[in-house]
């Protein structure tokens, strides 16, 4: 459910960056999320005192999964299509599996190895469209999206590291507040030349959607899931992210899916299938 919601953010983000600069859009999003979460958090749990390790882990979650992820994702969306971005996000399970092996010491199986190779090949196949048309802007945008996926993988792994000690509501609240702080100085600079009066009610509605649904609801659902299953399993379930983003991009943005993009997506789905099946451990 969390990844289906996040997948919709790619389409909404594509629309938002046409009206808001990147840093300002994210600052507004996390201000909305913080305004909703802080009162709820104080009422339900009160102020939580954590140890330094957990504070650092949650801050790094915000740095990678909020600040860098959104910066790279929205910057990439300004240079590529939402459909290409959605397909590239299919590499998230493979990326998460690799990092889980090294950082969380989870088992590395033959299926994981083959799945990683298929995901990489599928991503390369997607970018052949850009290369064949000498569209270096789209290729650069796709690389930014890929960087965002690496940051999201770190977000998942960091969330797993403290998921048994810190509640989902506490993590969602602190990550949102840290996100608002990280984006604040850059958003202030962008706001000085931004025409707020020209923003429509629909565009403000998208900001609220980003803040309440994509941030509050998705963060809480993600953290609750991390407390119950492995980071690799969460990575596999992120396959819902590209599926929802591709479908919504075609439906709402009228973007067309090319034959090569379909081919790349098939390879990535094959990788997801391999990652979801048990296999003997390597080594």
State the Cα–Cα distance between residues 129 and 204, nearest whole angstrom.
34
**Higher per-residue confidence, 184 vs 282:** 184
> Mean of the pLDDT values across residues 89-113?
76
State the Cα–Cα distance between residues 268 and 261, nearest whole angstrom.
11
pLDDT tens profile 46-92: 877 788 889 999 999 999 988 998 788 878 877 877 667 766 776 77
Count: domains in the chain = 1
In a domain, 283, yes or no: no
State the Cα–Cα distance between residues 153 and 139, nearest whole angstrom.
21
In a domain, 245, yes or no: yes
pTM over 0.85: no
In a domain, 184, yes or no: yes
In a domain, 281, yes or no: no
Which stretch, 8-12, 18-22, 242-246, 271-275, has highest mean pLDDT? 18-22
pLDDT of residue 138: 74
pLDDT of residue 175: 92
> Mean of the pLDDT values across residues 26-44?
91
**Higher per-residue confidence, 144 vs 1:** 144
In a domain, 56, yes or no: yes
- Its domain, for residue 121, covers 2-194+202-276
Nearest partner of 151 among 218, 55, 70, judged by Cα: 70
pLDDT of residue 236: 60
> Mean of the pLDDT values across residues 124-136?
55
Lowest mean pLDDT, pick from 20-34, 79-93, 146-160: 79-93
In a domain, 282, yes or no: no
pLDDT tens profile 172-188: 899 999 999 999 999 99
pLDDT of residue 38: 93
In a domain, 223, yes or no: yes
In a domain, 251, yes or no: yes
pLDDT of residue 264: 75
CB environment 9-27: b (16+ within 10 A), e (fewer):
bbbbbbbbbebbbbbbbbb
Return the percentage of the chain with pLDDT > 70, whole number.
70
State the Cα–Cα distance between residues 211 and 121, nearest whole angstrom.
34
pLDDT of residue 129: 54
**Higher per-residue confidence, 128 vs 96:** 96
Nearest partner of 215 among 21, 37, 23, judged by Cα: 37
């Amino acid at each position: 459910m969390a990844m289906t919601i996040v997948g919709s953010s790619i389409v909404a983000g594509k629309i938002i960056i046409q009206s808001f600069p990147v840093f300002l859009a994210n600052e507004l999003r996390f201000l909305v999320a913080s305004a909703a979460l802080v009162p709820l958090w104080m009422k339900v749990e009160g102020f939580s005192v954590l140890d330094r390790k957990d504070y650092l882990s949650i801050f790094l979650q915000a740095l990678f999964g909020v600040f860098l992820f959104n910066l790279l994702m929205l910057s990439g969306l300004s240079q590529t299509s939402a459909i290409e971005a959605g397909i590239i996000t299919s590499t998230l399970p493979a990326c998460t599996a690799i990092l889980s092996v090294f950082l969380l010491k989870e088992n590395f199986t033959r299926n994981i190895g083959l799945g990683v190779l298929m995901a990489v090949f599928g991503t390369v196949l997607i970018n052949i469209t850009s290369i064949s048309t000498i569209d270096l802007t789209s290729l650069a945008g796709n690389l930014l999206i890929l960087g965002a996926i690496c940051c999201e993988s770190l977000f998942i792994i960091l969330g797993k590291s403290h998921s048994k000690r810190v509640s989902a509501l506490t993590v969602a609240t602190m990550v949102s507040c840290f996100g608002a702080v990280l984006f604040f100085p850059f958003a202030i600079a962008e706001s000085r030349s931004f025409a707020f009066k020209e923003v429509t009610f629909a565009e403000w509605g998208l900001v609220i959607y980003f803040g309440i649904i994509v941030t509050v609801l998705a963060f809480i659902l993600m953290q609750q899931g991390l407390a119950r299953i492995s980071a690799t399993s969460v990575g596999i379930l992120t396959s819902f992210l590209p599926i929802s983003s591709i479908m919504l991009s075609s439906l709402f943005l009228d973007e067309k899916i090319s034959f090569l993009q379909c081919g790349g997506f098939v390879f990535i789905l094959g990788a997801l299938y391999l990652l979801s099946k048990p296999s003997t451990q390597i080594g």
